[in-house]
Amino acid sequence: MAASKGTGSADFAAARERMVARDIAGRGVRDERVLAAMRRVAREAFVPESLREAVYDDMPLPISGGQTISQPYIVAFMVEALQLNGGEKVLEIGTGSGYAAAVLAEIAGEVTTVERLRSLADRAAEIFTQLGYQHIRVLHGDGTLGWPEYAPYDAIVVTAGGPQVPEALKQQLALGGRLVIPVGSGQDSQDLVRVTRRSATAFAVEEIGGVRFVPLIGQQGWPTD
């Protein structure tokens, strides 16, 4: 587990504590590892300075590339759904701001995160270096194809909504591994599903809540046009 990476003022730290108590634990997230990670990661480091007054409101915020930094509760809810015990090898699809990868890195032993927009990947890598995260690997590419070079993964999380679960991601799960992804027939809303690999060919699928994410673009997601 990483050491504390807070970079904000005492005011930010206090606001972060209130957010975790009110909007994360207060809404039902119970995993102590997840709550501790949310307390340690300074969300203000991942948003434009002009938005920092709202950084600990429980809401998504815009970042560059037409993307968003996810609502803190949703980040915590999805990380909890991965059922991490600590030290796992995790793949994240959709780096975005880098905030969720940092939360994952507070629990996991190794995080590989894939971003299709080069500018976002480069910016996230810079932030991780500034904050001292040495076990996050940032890659630029089509996240719907995963990253086979470092597979299998104990857990995979997708931070964009796809029309179905990409087969490539299922095949990169370790036996017993969990994949959490928003899936929907349209791009306006999705169901968050957890896929657990039971054997080489068998996967258990469960729905765990309604969500709304930006579309998952790529070869095994939504087309770019």
SS (H, E, C) 141-203: CCHHHCCHHHCCEEEEEECCEECCCCHHHHHCEEEEEEEEEEECCCCCCEEEEEEEECCCCCE
Position 45 in a domain:
yes
Positions marked active-site = 70
Position 220 in a domain:
no
Q: What pLDDT was estimated at residue 58?
A: 94
Token pair for 198: 């039971």
Cβ atoms 175, 181 nearer than 8 A = no
Percent share of the chain, pLDDT over 90: 87
Strands 61-62 and 68-69: antiparallel
Residue-wise pLDDT for 108-124, tens only, equals: 999 999 999 999 999 99
Q: What pLDDT was estimated at residue 65?
A: 83
Position 5 in a domain:
no
Distance CA 165, CA 18 (A): 35
Domain count along the chain = 1
Residue-wise pLDDT for 56-111, tens only, equals: 999 999 998 888 899 999 999 999 999 999 999 999 999 999 999 999 999 999 99
Position 216 in a domain:
no
Position 162 in a domain:
yes
Helices (H) and strands (E) in the chain, counts: 6, 9
Position 3 in a domain:
no
Domain that holds residue 87: 10-211
Position 169 in a domain:
yes
Cβ atoms 145, 95 nearer than 8 A = no
Give rounded-to-5 percent helix, strand, coil for the chain: 35, 25, 35
Decide if pLDDT at 146 tops 70.
Answer: yes
Q: What pLDDT was estimated at residue 133?
A: 96
CATH of the domain at 165: 3.40.50.150
pTM higher than the cut 0.85 = yes
Query: What angle, rounded to 10 degrees, do the helices at 72-81 and 32-40 form?
Result: 140
Position 217 in a domain:
no
Report residue 225's pLDDT band, with 50, 70 and 90 as the boundaries: low
Q: Which H or E element spans position 61?
A: strand 61-62
- Residue 52: burial class (beta carbons within 10 Å; 0-12, 13-18, 19+): middle
Q: Which H or E element spans position 163?
A: none
